Structure 1
Amino acid sequence: MAADQRWRAQRRGGESLSHFVTRTIRDAIVSGQLAPGERIPQEQIGSALDVSRIPVREALRQLESEGLVRLTPNSFARVAKLDIAEVREIYLMRERIEPLAMELSMPGLTETHLRRLDDLRKDIDANRDNSEMVLQLDRDFHLACYEGAPTRIRRLVGDFWNATQHARRAYANAVASDDEHEVMCAEHYLIYVALREGNSEQAGALMRSHIARTRLRLERERSVSSEV
C-alpha cells in the first residue's frame, strides 16, 4: 500500500483533532500497515491530515502511553516492538482481567449484543480462508463480549489487544490450520452459549482457558520468539 494511502482518514463529527490524529495512527499500527520497528512519518501524516506538528506529537505521546509507539529523545518515533516476554506478560494479565470484564459485562448485555456475538462467531467460521479478516473478527468478538462492562476496564482490555496485535498476526500466520480454526470456533461458541445462558462464571472460565491456550501456543512458536 502506498504510504499516503494510510492517512486518508475522515474526521468524525464532533471528534477532536487530537483524537482524530491518534485514531488514524493507531488504526495504521493495529491493522499492520505500520510494522513493528517502522519509523512513523510525522511530517507525512501532518500533511495528509492537514494538521500541524502539535496534534501529531500529542497523538504519539498518547500512543506511547498505550504501548504502541516508542519515543526516543532527539530521534524518530517508531512502532513499538514487544519481545516474547512482554507478550507473555500481557497475555497473563488478560487471563485475569478479561474474565472479570466478562462478569461485569453480562448484566449489561442486551439481546442486540448477543445477536451480534452470534453473528461475529459465524462470520469467523465463514472467513476461515482470510486470516486478516479472522484477526479482525476475532478481536471484534472478544471486545463485544465486554460491551456491558464499565468504560475503564473496556479501555484497559482494548489497550492490551492493541499492544499485542502484531504478535497475534504472527501467531495466526504461523499456526494457521483447519484444526486450529475449528478449536477457536468451538471455544467462541461455548463462550457465546454461556453468555446467552447468563452463566458468568462459566463464560469467564472459558475465556481464561481460551486466552491461555493462545499464550502457550505463542510461547512455543519460534516465529514469534524474537521481537514481534
Structure 2
Amino acid sequence: MSERETRTAGASAPSAEALQKLAGRHQAGYRSVGTMAYDILRDAILDGTLAPGQKLRQETLAETIGVSRLPVRSALIQLEADGLVEFHARRGAVVKALSAEQAREVYDIRVLLEIDALRHSMDEMTPERIARLRELGRTADAEEEGADFVDARTQFYAELYGAAARPVHWEMIEQLRLKVGRYVLGWRLVGGGEHGHSHEELVAAVEAGDADAAAEVLRSHLTGVRDAVLAMLSAEGGAAAR
C-alpha cells in the first residue's frame, strides 16, 4: 500500500470523494483557510458525509480537502465547541453521536428559547420583515438537500427571531440547532413534507400579529421534528445492533 493510501485508509472512498466535492465548492471567496476548513467539515457532518462515530484523522482530512493539518485541527476544536465533534484520549476526534435522551433535552430547551425569541421579535415586526420572511421561507422550501438547505433554514429563523437585535439569544438557539442539524436534514431527505407548510403557516400567524397562534405553530413544528429525529435515532440504533 502506498503512503497516500495508508494515510487515507481511515475514511471510506465515498466519504473522501464527497469531502473533495465540498472542498471544491468552498475554495472560492475565502480569506481564511481556517474558516474554509471549518465550513467544509461542518457541512460534511451536517449532510452525513462524516457519520456519527466516525474517526476524524487530521492528516487524512487535511490531504483530502487540500489544506495543512493546522487549520483542520483548529476547525475540529471549533466543531467540538459546537457540539458536533468530541475528542477521546486514545481515539482522537470523532463525529459526536446524539442519544435519544439528549435529543429530547435539546428540543425541550429549544421550545422554551425559540418561543421566547419569537414573542420578542413579533413585538418589533415590520411589513418589510414579513416580506423578507416570505422570501426566505420560499427559498428554504425550494432547497431539498445538503448544506444549502441548512443555510436557508438558518437565514429564515435568524430573521424570524430577530437575531441581529438579540445575538446572544440567537447564538444559544443556533448551538442547539447544530446539534441536531444532520438529523433534521436526513428527515427532510426521506420525506418530512410538513416542514414546508409550517413556514407558510408560521409567517401567516406572525403577519396577523397573533403571538399565541404563532407560538403554537412553532411548538407543534418543533415537537414534530423532534419525533422524526427520535425515529431516525431509533433506526440508527437498530441498524447498529444487527
Q: TM-score, normalised by structure 2?
A: 0.73
Alignment partner of 2:216 out of 187, 197, 205: 205
1:139-176 Cα deviation digits (max 9, x unpaired): 543343224441112122112121102222343455x2
Which secondary structure state, in structure 2, belongs to the residue aligned with residue 32 of structure 1? coil
Which segments of 5 or more consecutive residues in structure 2 lack a partner in the other structure?
A: 1-13
Query: How many residue pairs end up in the alignment?
Result: 220
| Alignment CA distance shift 1:6-1:134 (3 Å) | closer
Q: How does 1:108-123 map to 2 (within 5 A)?
A: 109-123=125-139
Structure 2 partner of 1:74: 90
Does 1:214 find its partner at 2:225? yes
Which segments of 5 or more consecutive residues in structure 1 lack a partner in the other structure?
A: none
| Alignment CA distance shift 1:158-1:30 (3 Å) | same
The answer to whether the 8 Å contact 1:83/1:227 transfers is: no
Does 1:146 find its partner at 2:161? yes
Residue identity opposite 1:27 in structure 2:
D
Structure 1 partner of 2:235: 223
Residue identity opposite 2:113 in structure 1:
I
The answer to whether the 8 Å contact 1:4/1:44 transfers is: no
| Alignment CA distance shift 1:190-1:20 (3 Å) | same
Q: Once superposed, what is the RMSD of the aligned Cα atoms? A: 3.3
Structure 2 partner of 1:83: 99
| Alignment CA distance shift 1:29-1:203 (3 Å) | same
- 1:192 positional shift: 0.2
Between the two structures, name the one with larger relative contact order (CA 8 Å, sep ≥ 6): 1
Residue identity opposite 1:58 in structure 2:
S
Structure 1 partner of 2:7: none
The answer to whether the 8 Å contact 1:66/1:159 transfers is: yes
Which secondary structure state, in structure 2, belongs to the residue aligned with residue 70 of structure 1? strand
Compare CA radii of gyration and give the structure with the larger one. Answer: 2
In structure 1, distance between residues paired with 2:57 and 2:21: 13
Which secondary structure state, in structure 1, belongs to the residue aligned with residue 88 of structure 2? coil
- 1:29 positional shift: 1.4
In structure 1, distance between residues paired with 2:34 and 2:148: 30
- Identical aligned residues as a percent: 25
| Stretch of structure 1 that moved more, 100-109 or 71-80 | 100-109
Which secondary structure state, in structure 2, belongs to the residue aligned with residue 77 of structure 1? strand
